Amino acid sequence: MSKTIVKLIGLRIAEKRKERKITQEELAELVKVSTETVSRLERGVSIPSLKTLEKVSRALNIPLNRFFDFEDTSKEIDVFSHELSKLITFLKTKKEEDIKLSYQMLRLIFNQLEKRIGN
């Protein structure tokens, strides 16, 4: 399975979970996996088994085939790629130690945001 498809499936899981106002912890409990597993699936780091994807679809009350409907998501990927490209271009102008510090700061910021909104 291509990395793009795995990312798209992860985006769809996160999108549907947030629409239903369910935290990653709650989804993990419903699916009987760890919160880290849900996080990895949503980020496209891990490929869900069909069995796990079926459990996720039941937990979110959506048909299994919705995870493979990529028409709407392709626009999101284009925007994501464009923004990522701008960030890379900007970082190329910075010193290595500044890039490392920026990375550490971004991780802290996003970790705090995830804790605050229950992702």
Residue with tokens 């493979």: 68
Grouped pLDDT means (10 residues each) for the chain, 119 residues? 82 90 95 95 91 95 86 59 80 92 92 74
Sign of CA dihedral 44, 114, 66, 77: negative
Structure tokens at 99: 């890039």
Helix (H) or strand (E) holding 72: none
- Would you state the pLDDT for residue 87? 86
The angle that helices 35-43 and 3-19 make with each other, rounded to 10 degrees, is 120
Give the predicted TM-score (pTM) of the model.
Answer: 0.60
- Would you state the pLDDT for residue 118? 60
